[in-house]
Amino acid sequence: MQIAHQNWPAVEQYLNSRSVLLIPIGSTEQHGPNGLIGTDHLVAESLARSVGEEMGILVAPTLAYGMSHHHLAFPGSASLSPETLIRVIRDVVTSFARNGFSRFFFINGHGGNVSSIQAAFSDILLDHPSLRLQLASWWLMPEVTDQEKIFFGTENGHHATCGEVAVTWHLYPEDETPIPPGVAPDPETEWPVGPERYRTLFPDGRMGSNPSLSSGEKGKVLFEIARKALVDRIRKFLSRDGADVRKGAGE
């Protein structure tokens, strides 16, 4: 149910009975010496597609760049400024709202996006009070963190985590790259930090993680838990006020 693979009459037909759109959002940034640069958008995208398929909900093209300033001292990372990200989210949501979508569920893969997404939501809702917007960051859902504790204990870390590395290996087994055992440094620091300071404090890019504990099998379990938890959140979101019923084209 990807919007990119529909034609406009098919989207118009969808909008005759439904008003909800899933929007995957992530980042393009380093994930340690063996994690994929696309981790955050690839995982969000796969979750959104899987959930969209199960629930019969259209999925928008992935927003693959996010607010990743702190990773810019590592090659392959690219970042949107918070104000750009807010404007991109606003323009995308209000465009789809003009078509008739009125319920937007963001599936997020990157912590650095959260404050900008929330700022964008507040901004959009000021001018478009009948829209409903919700954010779910997959790795923060308690169902996922509980399982990560079982798999990785205290060594999951905060960036290039065992969990996110495992999920990418489940999705892209051909990209699995082993790493020697060892927990990356995770010094106490103010936050956020700039790119150079980040690289000084976290020299190989990881924050406190030990992805030698990752495996595709664990990733499969975590992906499935995240998928089910998202289905639950989306059902609740849509049941709140008869939400998934079209209420006129935009505002």
Contact residues for Ni ion (CB under 5 A)? 39-40, 164
Tell me the two tokens of residue 95. Answer: 């465009």
Decide whether 10 or 140 has the Cβ nearer to Ni ion: 140
How far, rounded to the nearest angstrom, does the alpha carbon of residue 174 sit from its chain's CA centroid? 22
Question: DSSP secondary structure string, 125-192?
Answer: HHH-TT-EEEEEEGGGSHHHHHHHHHHHGGGS-SBS-HHHHHHHHHH-GGG-----S-PPP-----SS
- Smaller CB separation from Ni ion, 100 or 205: 205
Could you give the CA distance from residue 16 to residue 63 in angstroms, rounded to a whole number? 26
Shortest spacing between CB 129 and Ni ion, in angstroms: 33
Our CB check for Ni ion shows the closer of 158 and 246 to be 158
Using the minimum distance from each CB to Ni ion, give the nearer residue, 93 or 165: 165
Task: Work out how close the CB of 40 gets to Ni ion at its nearest, in angstroms, rounded to a whole number.
Answer: 4
By beta carbon distance, the residue nearest Ni ion is 40
What is the spatial distance between Cα 18 and Cα 11, in angstroms, rounded to a whole number? 10
| Least distance from Ni ion to the Cβ atom of residue 6, Å | 29
CB of 164 to Ni ion, least distance (A): 5
